[in-house]
Amino acid sequence: MSWAAAAWLMLGGSTVLLFIGLPVAFSFLVINLVGAWIWLGGEPGLMQLTRNSVNSVMSFALTPIPLFVLMGEVLFHTGLAVKVIDGIERLIRQVPGRLAVVAVVAGTVFSAISGSTIATTAMLGSLMVPVMLARGYHPTIATGPVMAIGAVDMLIPPSALTVLLGSLSGISISKLLLGGVMPGLILSLAFVGYIIVRVKLTPGLAPNSHVERHAGLERFKPFLVYVVPLVSIFGVVVGAMAAGWGTPTESAALGAFATVLLAMAYRALTWRILLDSLKGTVAISAMILFIIVGATTFAQILSFSGASNGLAEAITGAGLPPWAVVAGMMLMLIFLGIFVDQVSMMMITLPIFMPVVTALNVDLIWFGVLFLICMQLGLLLPPHGLLLMTMKGVAPREVTMLHIFQAVVPYVAMSLILLALVFFFPKVATWLPQLFG
């Protein structure tokens, strides 16, 4: 069988199965079984597939994933997230669209201490959107910032999906985690600026409401007691990696340990909450690891069939400059983001993309951050963006899908501008990893 036929069977087959609704892991399991039977030699090939599957999840590089997930689970189950919102809300007084600004700032803080985009969006959506609607905020200005800042969670460490991308692509996980910090913060600042300008131009979107005044220490107490110690976890994780004191796994372990210690110090951690947090961590981590099994073996079979090398040679042999090839890849990722989830995007494209970018000597950290921004965009793109569905699930009934689609448009535009910024000015993504390289 030619490499082109193999590529059509493997890539086309997996895409069809995803579109008909089969879960990601099972879609790739089916294709992997077919591929192993054809190219690895029947029954011996299936045995080899089993051995490869076991080896794929025995990598030490994957251990930050459950640790990052545990940090978020403890944060949300203990209710410390509500304390963070209160601490930030007391500091931000009379600015246009105040509660929407609070949502963005609080979401940025959660991004620095939680590795789950869905958890951030669900928590902020259920807590803040009803309050904003009750105070007369338009549904678009109430829901848009929450969804947008939930997507930024993917860029700012700790991020389980960043670890997964680094593991599947072979890009340095620690440098990839550091590379997402600056783009993530730039996007958060852009969101705050947009909300203030938008509400200034159209005050009816977010009417001024009474702000409870807190004098002296009472205003700063929740911020100092809850926000500063929790944000210090971000300092522990990123600082340990940046200074070279620990690997991503060791830094994640320090972060998880610090999160549990803080929850105990606040007397918010009970045995029941700890058990619920561990159960949630096991469920999410098992799902991710099962997906990794499918992704890794899929890439191996694709390579063994000759499809990976054939596609890579066809692309590099076209004579296009590296920037044009990378731009084409980004367009493909944005298109895929309309239809499939982020893990599927990685599984479908990385086996093809990585041999090409390696052959073209493209900066892997720059490429990895571009890939992350495209996946972040996919969370927000109508009609199937995961955070759009999450918001619809937690928002009050008066918020329609049309409101949600309208709300997300300006934030998608800002994310596209960020993608262009990083594309034309790679230092935005590579400066921090190089500084601590």
Who wins on pLDDT, 248 or 148?
A: 148
Q: Angle, to 10 degrees, between the axis of helix 401-424 and the axis of helix 139-152?
A: 40
Within 8 A by CB and 6+ apart from 425, the residues are: none
- Residue 36: predicted pLDDT: 80
- Residue 421: predicted pLDDT: 96
Averaged confidence pLDDT in the chain? 81
pLDDT at 419 over 90: yes
Who wins on pLDDT, 306 or 148?
A: 148
Could you tell me the pLDDT band of residue 25, with boundaries at 50, 70 and 90? Answer: low
- Residue 347: predicted pLDDT: 75
- What is the radius of gyration, based on Cα positions, of the chain? 22
**pLDDT per residue as tens digits for the range 136-162:** 899 999 999 999 988 888 888 877 788
Are 433 and 178 a contacting pair, CB within 8 Å? yes
Which pair of structure tokens corresponds to residue 283? 């469920």
- Residue 77: predicted pLDDT: 81
Could you tell me the pLDDT band of residue 367, with boundaries at 50, 70 and 90? Answer: very high
Q: Angle, to 10 degrees, between the axis of helix 364-378 and the axis of helix 160-169?
A: 130
Question: Cα–Cα distance between 223 and 202 in angstroms, integer?
Answer: 31
Could you tell me the pLDDT band of residue 211, with boundaries at 50, 70 and 90? Answer: low
SS3 content of the chain, % helix, strand, coil (to 5): 80, 0, 20
Amino acid, res. 430: T
pLDDT at 61 over 70: no
pLDDT at 198 over 90: yes
pLDDT at 185 over 80: yes
Question: Cα–Cα distance between 107 and 72 in angstroms, integer?
Answer: 13
pLDDT at 422 over 90: yes
pLDDT at 57 over 70: no
- Residue 60: predicted pLDDT: 66
pLDDT at 285 over 80: no
Q: Angle, to 10 degrees, between the axis of helix 24-39 and the axis of helix 271-304?
A: 30
Could you tell me the pLDDT band of residue 424, with boundaries at 50, 70 and 90? Answer: very high
**Claim: this prediction has a pTM higher than 0.85:** no
User: Would you mind telling me the total number of residues written for the chain in this entry?
Assistant: 437
- Residue 418: predicted pLDDT: 95
Domain borders along the chain are 3-435
Nearest to 143 by CA among 428, 396, 412: 396
Amino acid, res. 203: P
- Residue 156: predicted pLDDT: 85
Give yes or no for a cis peptide into 355 (omega within 30° of 0).
no
Which pair of structure tokens corresponds to residue 24? 């990601």
User: If you average pLDDT over residues 52-66, what whole number do you get?
Assistant: 70
User: If you average pLDDT over residues 424-435, what whole number do you get?
Assistant: 91
- Residue 215: predicted pLDDT: 63
Question: Cα–Cα distance between 334 and 370 in angstroms, integer?
Answer: 11
For residue 361, give Cα distances in angstroms to 225, 317, 322: 48, 14, 8
pLDDT at 270 over 80: yes
157 conformational bin, left if phi > 0, alpha if psi -120 to 50, beta if neither:
beta
Question: Cα–Cα distance between 32 and 296 in angstroms, integer?
Answer: 10
- Residue 437: predicted pLDDT: 62
Question: Cα–Cα distance between 223 and 140 in angstroms, integer?
Answer: 28
Neighbours of 10 (CB within 10 A): 26
